[in-house]
Structure 1
Amino acid sequence: MLFSEIVEGIELEEQTHGSCEITSVEYDSRRVHEGSLFVAMRGSTTDGNTYIKQAMGKGAAGVLTDSREVFSNALSRWPHLCIGLAQHGRRSLAIASANFYQHPERTLKMTGVTGTNGKTTTAYLVEAMLNSAQRTSVLVGTIEYHVAGEVRVSPHTTPESRDLLELFHDAVGRGATEAVMEVSSHALHQGRVYGMPFDVAIFTNLTQDHLDFHRTMERYFAAKQKLFAGDGSPAPRVAVINVDDEYGRRLAKFSLTQGSVVAEYGVEKGDWRAEDVVLEAGSTRFTLKTPHGSVAMHSNLTGHVNVLNLLAASAAAHARGLSLEQIAEGSEQLAYVPGRFQTVPNEASITVAVDYAHTDDALLNLIKLSRQLVGNNQRVITLFGCGGDRDITKRPKMGRAAARGSNLVVLTSDNPRTEDPAIIMEQALRGVEEIGTDCIVEADREAAIRKAIAAAKPGDIVLLAGKGHEKTQVLATGTVPFDDVEVAARVLQERA
């Protein structure tokens, strides 16, 4: 494809001739090869413009830059190079990639899920419902990617636009007609989904998280809102919004001003509601009430939060053309979501559940669910930690959340990164001490899991919160393998 064809639609301040033949679009100089177009853009932590020399050394045929100085220097150094000066680096990457991959996003009907908690489970549920109705799909999310049934590693919840479009191109080639993806606030803020035409957008909730990046809750909300305004594309045709959530009610009003059809869901409010809810371990039943009729629902997922996730997925699936009967059938197809109240089999008559809960709101919901399952005669033991190099203000809040409803808290380490785990735990411990719940402090996560399980008696629930599906622990010395499920299984086997 010619350089001139790839840059079509990009806001260019200047450009040279466009006759270069381009073989790939890359933003990482390490992936550049003979004939590549290198998109050099300024990011939040690095500036791709500093790597143009390396890209040229690997045979780049063209360059897009968002730096006038770099444009001028490259032009004088490589006068025959196809080079463009773009107003927006990431937008240029998105448009160039869409052109190169022949716009797979226009073939796929896209459903995006955003919110603090529940994105992954809701996305999995939507995918299960679509697949049950014989739709071929691609799923992009935190745990893994699914491409027409093939499971792939997920390096990012929402990848850069170039990687996302390559994935979509592959999926379309395999017959996919639907895309379901988690859309993070970072991705929305940075323009990683610029130009993506979402047909349906889902908002689950908004609670404190990522304030190390967004600084305030209003900025955090503004990033989420971009999905419902459209970024380089029209607003979604249908907006599915949790109106039990304060921010959701604001977003519902906003979406109406954007011309979207708004499907409101919630337990207390909303047109999509659950009645006669019955929650058991490994089972949730309710009657789904909608403006289009009612249907009996059953899911293998457990808890109040999953009732909300099921409502969100149901409204989105209906917006994608599924009948209520197809939605009910699809909801039963999902056995579990990795790292979301994932129980570890054992013969000790205790429930050990691994969950990704890493905010105070998620912890509260997780513990509330566990208390509903065991009643007041058995104990809930909650193990948690707080991530390093992240928002420190949520640490005492998480401590308070873990202590409320738990009989015992085990405070440990959770991806401390460059921070001292002892300092992180001290900050979280303040919240636990405010409530007064018994607490064991153990920085070594494997030792902490051992202590949590050792403290449990038959009938108790042990919650291993924070890491969920993750397979590593990020330390100051580097990243090491660590899997809560694998460690818990080994400890339980030794106990048996």
Structure 2
Amino acid sequence: MNWKKVCAELSAIECVGAPVEVAGVQYDSRRVGRGDVFVAMRGETTDGNRYLEAGVAQGAAAVVTDSREAYERLRREWPDLPAALVTHGRRALAEVSATVMGHPERRLALSAVTGTNGKTTTAFLLEALLRSVGRTSVLIGTIETHVGMEVRVSPHTTPESRDVLEIFADGVRAGATEAVMEMSSHALEQERVWGIPVDVAMFTNLTQDHLDFHGTMERYFLAKARLFEGVGAAPPRVAVINGDDGYGRRLLDMRLRSQMMAYGLESGEYRAEEVRLGAGETQFIFKTPHGDALIRSSLTGRVNVYNLLAASCAALARGLTLEEIVAGAAAGMQVPGRFEVVPSTNGVTVVVDYAHTEDALRNLIALARELVEGRGGRVITLFGCGGDRDKTKRPRMGRAAGEGCDLVVLTSDNPRSEDPMTIIEEALVGVRETGTDCIVEEDRAGAIAIAIRAARAGDIVLLAGKGHEKVQISRDGTVPFDDVAVAAGVLRELE
């Protein structure tokens, strides 16, 4: 790729230098290789412009910067090096990456999902439905990334644009024609998805989360709404929105330039009726303007009815028939860390789930309560609250756990730089308001053992908060930790 071609597609204040050939794009100076464009940009925790010298020493063929001072230094100290000055570093990263990689985003039909809860399951479901009719897809999400049949680790829910586009390019080479992405509010606010066209956009729900970053629920909502307005690209062709959610109704009332598909159990043209729920079994009549169909799935609970509705609507928007959706949903799937049942032989059901907000925890506990009704079982819930995150939700989560459970076990969940017991004490305030018995155990492995050993046949033990995560993060560092593995070990000891 020629530098002049990059300049032609870059929204730059100034773009100078000889028409050299560039081979790749990097925003981390440590990863710059010979022939790469180094995009030096301001971030939340560091400023890439501090590492100009390192990028040049690594062999950068050109540098793009969002700092006038850095640009003037480049022109002064490395006058023969091609360089560009831009206003928005992240937008420039997206533009340069798309150009150098040959615009893979234009060769994939992207379906993107946002919301507080349900993003991961909805994304997995939609990818499974697309795969069931023979389509090859890219999936980018919280748990893992898929490029066709290849599974990769996902370091972030939504990576930087350069990394997204690289995955897209790999997908195109693997024969993919579809892409499915979770788009977090952080990524939308920070424009990590700048210029990436979305064909189908989905909204699941909005409840309190990430206020440490957004400050208010209104700003949190407006960040999510950017998906439906287009972030440096045209608005989505189709908007799939949960009409039962208050913020979803706000989106439906906005003058969005998309074909609207409203879904829900209580509202919308695309509804679930005659819902029947059981452990490992969900079924409902999918009512649509195009006809009705009986959906059966091995997923559990009311929340998954919403996830199935969202994915089914998106699948219809991507051209699948009702018959194909019915067959795909019935094929069965398990999303890691989303109501994941740990095998047991002692009559106790142990479930690992990612629920880490008040609303998600309430939904999880309500589902467990439905499953034990009529058999005299109890609901035991283990949870913790993350450190360096919104502190106001800690007592609320404690209250949610106490109001729905027979026993609460309060423990640590990625305390990060904070004191674990300080976090626990703040959540304990909410539990105490309910009068529900509560056991405090800072060590999460010990807490899991306490929760499972306290259960008897017919009970459900919910291990909430970490879900698919495989590490515990504290001020002492990051160590391997897997709720499923720890629970399975305790259950083996009880056999």
Assess same fold via TM > 0.5: yes
1:36 deviates by 1.1
Partners of 1:9 and 1:33 in 2: CA distance: 22
- Contact 2:394–2:426, Cα closer than 8 Å, also in 1: yes
How do residues 64-83 of structure 1 correspond to structure 2 at under 5 angstroms? Answer: 64-83=64-83
Specify the SS of the correspondent of 2:199: strand
Amino acid at match of 2:52: I
- CA RMSD of the aligned region, Å? 0.8
The answer as to 2:306 corresponding to 1:308 is yes
Shift of 1:2: 1.3
Question: Residue 404 of structure 1: SS of its match in structure 2?
Answer: helix
Secondary structure, counterpart of 2:433 in structure 1: helix
Cross-structure match for 1:450? 449
- Contact 2:36-2:60 at 8 Å conserved across structures: yes
Q: 1:7: Cα distance to partner? A: 3.0
Which residue is 2:287 aligned to? 289
Alignment size in residue pairs: 494
Q: Whole-Å Cα distance in 1 between the matches of residues 4 and 162 of structure 2? A: 18
Deviation per residue, 1:358-400 (Å, 9 max, x gap)? 0000000000000011116210000000000000000000001
**Aligned-pair CA distance for 1:335:** 2.1
Range with bigger deviation, 28-37 or 113-122: 28-37
Where structure 1 has 5 or more consecutive residues not aligned to the other structure, the ranges are none
Is residue 2:364 matched to residue 1:366? yes
Which residue of 1 is the match for residue 319 of structure 2? 321
Separation in 2, partners of 1:406, 1:139: 35
Over 3 Å counting, the alpha-carbon distance change for 1:193 and 1:334 in structure 2 is farther
Cα distance in 1 between the residues matched to 2:452 and 2:59: 56
Structure 2: tracts of 5 or more residues without a match: none
Aligned counterparts of 1:262 and 1:404: Cα–Cα separation in 2? 37
Shift, 1:412, TM fit:
0.2
**CA shift for structure 1 position 6:** 2.0
Q: Distance in 1 between matches of 2:364 and 2:178?
A: 31
Map Cα deviations across residues 421-477 of structure 1 (whole Å, 9 max, x no partner).
Answer: 100000000000111111000000000000000000001000000000000000101
Q: Which one-letter code corresponds to 1:156 in the other structure? A: H
The separation in 2 between residues aligned to 1:319 and 1:451, in whole angstroms, is: 47
Alignment-mate amino acid for residue 277 of structure 1: V
TM-score (norm 1): 0.99
Are the equivalent residues in 1 in contact too, given 2:412–2:443 (CA < 8 A)? yes
In structure 2, relative to structure 1, the CA distance for the partners of 1:334 and 1:140 (3 Å cut) is farther
Taking the aligned partners of 2:484 and 2:356, their CA distance within structure 1 comes to 16
- 1:97 matched to which residue of 2? 97
- Partner residue, 1:481: 480
Partner of 2:385: 386
Q: Are 2:30 and 1:30 aligned? A: yes
Aligned to 1:197: 197
CA contact (8 A) 1:128 1:334 kept: no
**What residue is the counterpart of 1:491 in the other structure?**
490
**What is the match of residue 440 of structure 2?**
441
Task: Check the 8 A contact 1:111/1:181 in 2, yes or no.
Answer: yes
Query: 1: distance between equivalents of 2:123 and 2:205?
Result: 14
Alignment of 1:390-429 (within 5 A): 390-429=389-428
Instruction: Please name the residue that 1:63 is paired with.
Output: 63
Match of 1:164 in 2: 164
C-alpha separation between the residues in 1 aligned to 2:75 and 2:329?
57
Q: CA deviation at 1:18?
A: 4.1
Any conservation in 2 of the 1:125–1:334 contact (CA below 8 Å)? no
Counterpart CA distance in 2 for 1:34 and 1:184 is 33
Equivalent residue in structure 2 for 1:273, among 265, 271, 289: 271
Identity across the alignment (%): 62
SS in 1 for 2:484: helix
Aligned to 2:14: 14
Range with bigger deviation, 7-16 or 449-458: 7-16
Equivalent AA in structure 1 for residue 91 of structure 2: R
What residue in structure 2 maps to residue 353 of structure 1?
351
| Corresponding residue SS for 1:157 | coil
Whether contact under 8 Å (2:144, 2:153) holds in the other structure is: yes
Contact 1:2–1:18 (CA under 8 A) maintained in structure 2: no
